[in-house]
């Protein structure tokens, strides 16, 4: 087995068993982004699932500081872990225990790898729809804030569960997402409020970053896939029995129940 395949096998086994490791063994530990993404691809292969979307972790300065990285991280969202609005998600074994309110964009056409960077205009032209969404992340490490970017990337950038809301009917292309308010409700009470400015300054910037990250380290974004651009609010601490609703105003809302 290659180093990335061995790393992926260890992480995938812990993912399935809902167990944790301190970090990957030194002889297969990824040391840079390229090696991390290689292990990530091997996890997808082991899962037997299609990648239906992509997530971005650490899109705020506070988030990057919290997990000890100097920039965002991309991770795949597996088909059997992407659920519809109102779904119930199990927190059994979850170490992070947070829910995040995020702007998600579905692509009408593919943006494959190429030599030149994609511009924001090119990326937005390929988008079909905007969706409200909630991510419930998790990690396969006991202390995910200490393992560093390559190991976090290998671990699918803390991907776990994701709830994709319906496409908004509002004319999102004519609106600024930077100042657009987003409120997360916990058991019907306001818990956290934020805006698109918390996502690399603008969700459009985060979306373009993700496309170019996959242009460099992956196979690009495929038609029909979506990209969720990172939490607009401070992650909401949750426990079994809680219900979270993310309200994006005129862009709609999305809910999840936690068991």
* pLDDT tens sequence across 27-56: 999 999 999 999 999 999 999 999 999 999
Could you tell me if 72 and 195 are in contact, meaning their C-beta atoms sit under 8 angstroms apart? no
**Mean predicted lDDT score pLDDT of the chain:** 96
H/E element holding 84?
strand 82-84
For residue 168, give Cα distances in angstroms to 126, 143, 202: 17, 37, 18
Structural domain 51-258, CATH architecture: Alpha-Beta Complex (3.90)
pLDDT digits (tens, 9 = 90+) for 126-160: 999 999 999 999 999 999 999 999 999 999 999 99
Structure tokens that stand for 152 in this block: 């976090």
- The Cα 183–Cα 165 span in angstroms is 15
- The Cα 24–Cα 27 span in angstroms is 8
pLDDT digits (tens, 9 = 90+) for 207-227: 999 999 999 999 999 999 999
Could you tell me if 104 and 164 are in contact, meaning their C-beta atoms sit under 8 angstroms apart? yes
């Amino acid at each position: 087995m290659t180093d990335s395949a061995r790393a992926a096998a260890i992480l995938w086994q812990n993912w399935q068993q809902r167990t944790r490791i301190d970090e990957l063994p030194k002889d297969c530990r990824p040391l840079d982004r390229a090696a991390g993404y290689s292990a990530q691809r091997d996890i997808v292969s082991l899962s037997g699932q299609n990648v239906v979307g992509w997530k971005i972790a650490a899109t705020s300065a506070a988030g990057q500081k919290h997990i000890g990285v100097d920039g965002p991280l991309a991770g795949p969202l597996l088909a059997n872990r992407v659920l519809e609005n109102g779904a119930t998600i199990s927190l059994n074994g979850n170490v992070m225990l947070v829910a995040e309110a995020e702007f998600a964009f579905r692509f009408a056409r593919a943006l494959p790898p190429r030599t030149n960077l994609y511009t924001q205009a090119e990326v937005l032209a390929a988008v079909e729809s905007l969706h409200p969404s909630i991510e419930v992340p998790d990690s396969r490490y006991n202390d995910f804030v200490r393992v560093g970017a390559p190991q976090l990337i290998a671990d699918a950038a803390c991907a776990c569960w994701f709830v994709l809301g319906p496409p908004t009917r509002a004319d999102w292309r004519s609106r600024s997402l930077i100042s657009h308010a987003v409120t997360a409700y916990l058991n019907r009470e306001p818990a956290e409020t934020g805006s698109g400015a918390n996502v690399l300054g603008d969700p459009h910037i985060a979306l373009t970053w993700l496309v170019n990250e996959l242009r460099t380290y992956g196979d690009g974004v495929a038609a029909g896939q979506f990209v969720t651009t990172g939490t607009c609010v401070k992650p909401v601490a949750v426990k079994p029995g809680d219900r979270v609703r993310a309200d994006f105003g005129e862009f709609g809302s999305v809910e999840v129940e936690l068991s």
